[in-house]
Structure 1
Amino acid sequence: MSESTTSPAASPVTAQSEAPLSLTEPPPRTLNLRACLGLWGNLGVSLLLPVAAMYVVLPGRPLAATITAIVVGAVIGSALLGLGAAAGAREGVPAMVLMRGLLGGRMSYLPTVFNLVQCVGWATFEIVVIAEAASRVLDLPRWPFVLAGGLLATLMALRPLAAARILARYAVWAALAAVVYLFVEVVRHPLPEINDYGAVSFWAAVDIVIALPVSWFPLAADYTRHARDGRSALLGTSIGYGAATVAMFTLGALALAAYGAAGLDVVDALLAVPFGIVAVLVLVVVELDEAFANIYSTAVSAQNFAARLDRRLLAGLVGVTATVLALTFDIAAYEPFLFLIGAVFVPLVGVFAVVYFVLPRAGWDVTTHAPARPALLLPWIAGFVAYQLTLPTFFAGTGAGWTAWWTARQEDLGIDPANGWSASLVSLAVAAVLTVAVELPRTRNYRRRVHS
């Protein structure tokens, strides 16, 4: 066994067991179904979701249509997320180490690099969201909240399983109380149809909702490697995150209808609710878990390059970097790039799901010496191309050339830019079908060996 491969077997641990400092140590299995539900339910409670609801509502149609799109997207996205979580629990390794079995030891460095960039970016973005919301609620300068948010998130990343236990036992109930209260207050207002903004079609709305759970796929196994079994990981992750996704997107859609708010003004609308300041402050505090998760996953992903690196040192460096970026960088201008990286992982989910759960295989090699499988780059790349041809990632300013190039390719192929399709589902389908085609020869050889 490679020195950088952890054992999937559960080790005798106490209730206070913490995540291993390096990949050379076995992960303690302390997260039961309730803990997984609490952790992923909290990760799904984010102020980004009600703000993003303006892109999900279906203009000129009843709110029931929008809520249906939210539910469909949450079910699909959280089911895919749950598959990655279950695989992490089965193999007992972090997400990027899990990619060794798919692409090979060294080829797993490719998704790892993408994941490092997106995790640092999203950690920065979450710290900005926390600081911005807190400063608006309390009418104070933003920078102290940036420092406080970055510090607290980094401290949580140093003791991730302790943070997960707190989230499951306490924070989830505070978040639930705040969300339920805001729901009750919002639905007391008239809820007319929304006509001014929203998604171009039902499936375009579904696509946006799918993107949120799937964006966590490259991180899921970092936490569920500590789950006691695959069932707890699958159900806890998919149900916890899926339910939170439905709740937060629906809350945003209802706030848009009730208050006629748009974009970041959704937060202002919720603040207008009686005692809304208290409820929003609770959600701001709960938002820390997203920043913590991204910081911790950056550290764990980096260990795929060097198994003996201490995750505490890595998490500290990432936390400082994200905090400095939140103080100095226009993260809003970086947001489209984060969505572009997210689009990179959507087809990878399709490739992984087919190879791991559908096609027969002898085992899953997560050692550093796992053989390279370059043929699987084809369905991954094809899925990404299909995503961009369906819905090019939108850039403004200096990045507008990217959007313009893909829009021109849509015209060349006769694809209507306002096609209304789900880019995520198209990308997943292309990647899955091509994966089957690429893997058929290996699958046949495996079956011959089994039956000989």
Structure 2
Amino acid sequence: MSTWQNLVSRMPKESDADAPAERTMSLGRTAMLWLAANMVVTTLLTGTLFVPGVSYATALLMILTGTLVGGAVLILVGRIGTRTGLPTMVLTRGSFGRRGGYLPAAFNLIVLMGWAWVQALLAGITLNYVVERATGFSNPVLFAVIAQTIVVLLALFGHLGIQRVEPWLAVIMVAVAGYVFYTAFSTFGVSEFLAIPAQPEVITTIVVFDIVVATAISWTVLSADFNRHAMSERAGVVGTAIGYTASTFTAMALGATALGYVFLEGGEPIPFDPTVIVERFGVPLAIIIFISVMATNTMVVYGMVMSYLNVRPKDNFLVAALVIGLISIVGATWQGLLERFIDFLFLISGLFVPVFAILLVDYYILRRGRYIFADLVKDRGGAYWYSGGLNPVALLSWAVGAALAYYWSQVSPLSFGATVPVFFVTFALYLLASLLVGRRPKAQADRAAATSPPATDTVGR
């Protein structure tokens, strides 16, 4: 068999969105996957938004605090994926209904496509900068298309291909991050970074916190997609906690440090521009930006395919991946999206904070940590059919939460941020409304307890 035939034979042929997951990810592999996932150019450049708006110490504290708060939601949703073996958007059927789950799946497909375009564009700009400096040739759109084409080819191999590639990418990215930190702190002392004057008219402390939490929510859409392959709950929870926390803190701190370095050098600290920091740190930082896009966008494309297959589970995986991948490549030519990144990030937060608040209430409180696998993947009927496949309580709670997210972030911004308040308002609203309408009758609860697999720490060992 030729090398090409061998590769093709390993590609997934059919959808596995509604099938039990293969338990192939140990704690170490889970940690490495999440470490590589958020060591990405968008997270790094998000860190450049913080300094000198707030002090360097405040930026680091908010990055850590926001990561822990937002990461808790990501971990809890991922844990449901490990327990059930199902991806994130399939899990939303439990609370929104079999047909109601199409709503978050559609949002997820759109949002992930936006992520793919943004990251491919940043990779293209970075690669173009390096090539232009070396040869004089410049075509950022071409390089963005090349970057996203590589991503799509990697994504065709599904989660197994991602698992094999991600650990190596993580090692490379951590090594280059170490180089950038060493260069920054060997040139200027820590005390000099701490002494950078804050400019609160640029950004406030609570907005920094809100952005960091929103970043975690944006990653939660993929948490169960990958953690469903964890060998045990411990592997999923601990691996994700280590990998996501380390990657987010490192990447954002790297961005804040890099822009602080530009400021101390007397340069113009332009946020969210990869060329500003690549100019100071050279090819090694360009490498981490490009490789990070390969790592993260591969997961993003796979997540888009899973969202599509949540709506049409009988479709062929390869065909769906190729079509979605082609759209992601074409969209990588739209450079105007970069100017709207923060708005895009808060759009994700507004759409999905209510979704995950509802999901966590439904699974951990109303259903006491049990979902019926067979009913989640059933086309009609079952415990999650509600009224014609829709749960009006979840849909109404989501609509209220999304409206509040928009109002509190765009119309009348709260001084303490919108992400956390929206989460708790939606959480309380869905819980109280569900209890009032008796959305979880005793017979259904008994059936769930009797037929669902036990929630243990040894599933898949």
Q: TM class by shorter-chain length?
A: 0.7 to 0.9
Q: 1:268 aligns with which of 276, 291, 303?
A: 276
Show structure 2 runs of 5+ residues with no match.
1-8, 133-137, 264-268, 450-461
Q: Give 2:155's aligned residue.
A: 157
**Code of the aligned partner of 2:181:** F
**Code of the aligned partner of 2:243:** G
Between the aligned partners of 1:433 and 1:308, the Cα distance in structure 2 is 36
Between the aligned partners of 2:328 and 2:444, the Cα distance in structure 1 is 51
Between the aligned partners of 1:41 and 1:449, the Cα distance in structure 2 is 37
Q: CA distance change for structure 1 residues 219 and 20 in 2, over 3 Å: closer, same or farther?
A: farther
Structure 1, 210-219 or 366-375: larger mean CA deviation: 366-375
Aligned runs of 1:48-63 on 2, under 5 Å? 48-57=42-51, 59=53, 62-63=55-56
| Aligned-pair CA distance for 1:444 | 7.6
Of all paired residues, the percent bearing the same amino acid is: 25
**Code of the aligned partner of 2:172:** A
Q: Give 2:417's aligned residue.
A: 422
Q: CA distance change for structure 1 residues 70 and 119 in 2, over 3 Å: closer, same or farther?
A: same
Q: Give 1:397's aligned residue.
A: none
Q: Give 1:41's aligned residue.
A: 35
Between the aligned partners of 1:444 and 1:366, the Cα distance in structure 2 is 16
**Code of the aligned partner of 1:132:** I
Query: 1:252-307 CA distances to partner (integer Å, 9 max, x unpaired)?
Result: 1122222122213464234313xx31232133123212221221111111111221
Do the aligned residues in 2 keep the contact of 1:19 with 1:28 (CA within 8 Å)?
Answer: no
Do the aligned residues in 2 keep the contact of 1:351 with 1:432 (CA within 8 Å)?
Answer: yes
Q: 2:358 aligns with which of 320, 327, 351?
A: 351
Q: 1:80 aligns with which of 73, 80, 85?
A: 73
Between the aligned partners of 1:381 and 1:32, the Cα distance in structure 2 is 38
| Aligned-pair CA distance for 1:177 | 0.3
| Aligned-pair CA distance for 1:321 | 1.0
Structure 1, 149-158 or 262-271: larger mean CA deviation: 262-271
TM-score, normalised by the number of residues in structure 1: 0.83
Do the aligned residues in 2 keep the contact of 1:51 with 1:252 (CA within 8 Å)?
Answer: yes
| Aligned-pair CA distance for 1:443 | 7.2
Q: CA distance change for structure 1 residues 40 and 448 in 2, over 3 Å: closer, same or farther?
A: closer
Q: CA distance change for structure 1 residues 329 and 168 in 2, over 3 Å: closer, same or farther?
A: closer
Q: Give 1:327's aligned residue.
A: 333
Q: CA distance change for structure 1 residues 44 and 337 in 2, over 3 Å: closer, same or farther?
A: closer
Q: CA distance change for structure 1 residues 17 and 33 in 2, over 3 Å: closer, same or farther?
A: farther
Do the aligned residues in 2 keep the contact of 1:87 with 1:230 (CA within 8 Å)?
Answer: no
| Aligned-pair CA distance for 1:142 | 1.7
Q: Give 2:266's aligned residue.
A: none
Q: CA distance change for structure 1 residues 277 and 35 in 2, over 3 Å: closer, same or farther?
A: same
Q: CA distance change for structure 1 residues 324 and 427 in 2, over 3 Å: closer, same or farther?
A: same
Between the aligned partners of 2:402 and 2:23, the Cα distance in structure 1 is 35
Give the alignment's Cα RMSD to 1 decimal. 2.6
| Aligned-pair CA distance for 1:357 | 1.7
| Aligned-pair CA distance for 1:30 | 0.7
| Aligned-pair CA distance for 1:20 | 6.7
Q: CA distance change for structure 1 residues 100 and 20 in 2, over 3 Å: closer, same or farther?
A: farther
| Aligned-pair CA distance for 1:328 | 4.7
Q: CA distance change for structure 1 residues 20 and 359 in 2, over 3 Å: closer, same or farther?
A: farther
If asked which structure has higher relative contact order (CA below 8 Å, sep 6+), I would say 2
Q: 1:277 aligns with which of 271, 275, 283?
A: 283
Do the aligned residues in 1 keep the contact of 2:401 with 2:422 (CA within 8 Å)?
Answer: yes
Report whether the alignment pairs 1:119 with 2:112: yes
Do the aligned residues in 2 keep the contact of 1:18 with 1:161 (CA within 8 Å)?
Answer: no
Secondary structure of 2:231's aligned partner: coil
Show structure 1 runs of 5+ residues with no match.
1-15, 393-406, 411-416
Q: How many residues align?
A: 410
Query: 1:56-110 CA distances to partner (integer Å, 9 max, x unpaired)?
Result: 3474x64222211110001111111111111111111121111111111111111
Aligned runs of 1:62-141 on 2, under 5 Å? 62-139=55-132, 140-141=138-139
| Aligned-pair CA distance for 1:17 | 7.7
Report whether the alignment pairs 1:178 with 2:200: no
Report whether the alignment pairs 1:28 with 2:22: yes
Q: Give 1:213's aligned residue.
A: 216
Between the aligned partners of 1:289 and 1:85, the Cα distance in structure 2 is 19
**Code of the aligned partner of 2:405:** Y
Between the aligned partners of 1:359 and 1:18, the Cα distance in structure 2 is 39
Report whether the alignment pairs 1:239 with 2:234: no
Between the aligned partners of 2:118 and 2:339, the Cα distance in structure 1 is 11
TM-score, normalised by the number of residues in structure 2: 0.82
Report whether the alignment pairs 1:388 with 2:391: no
Do the aligned residues in 1 keep the contact of 2:67 with 2:213 (CA within 8 Å)?
Answer: yes
Do the aligned residues in 1 keep the contact of 2:11 with 2:156 (CA within 8 Å)?
Answer: no
Q: 1:311 aligns with which of 308, 313, 317?
A: 317
Q: CA distance change for structure 1 residues 74 and 81 in 2, over 3 Å: closer, same or farther?
A: same
| Aligned-pair CA distance for 1:391 | 1.2
Between the aligned partners of 1:217 and 1:246, the Cα distance in structure 2 is 16
| Aligned-pair CA distance for 1:162 | 3.5
Q: CA distance change for structure 1 residues 76 and 17 in 2, over 3 Å: closer, same or farther?
A: farther
**Code of the aligned partner of 2:351:** V
**Code of the aligned partner of 2:424:** A
Q: Give 2:307's aligned residue.
A: 301
Between the aligned partners of 2:229 and 2:11, the Cα distance in structure 1 is 10
| Aligned-pair CA distance for 1:164 | 2.6
Q: CA distance change for structure 1 residues 342 and 424 in 2, over 3 Å: closer, same or farther?
A: closer
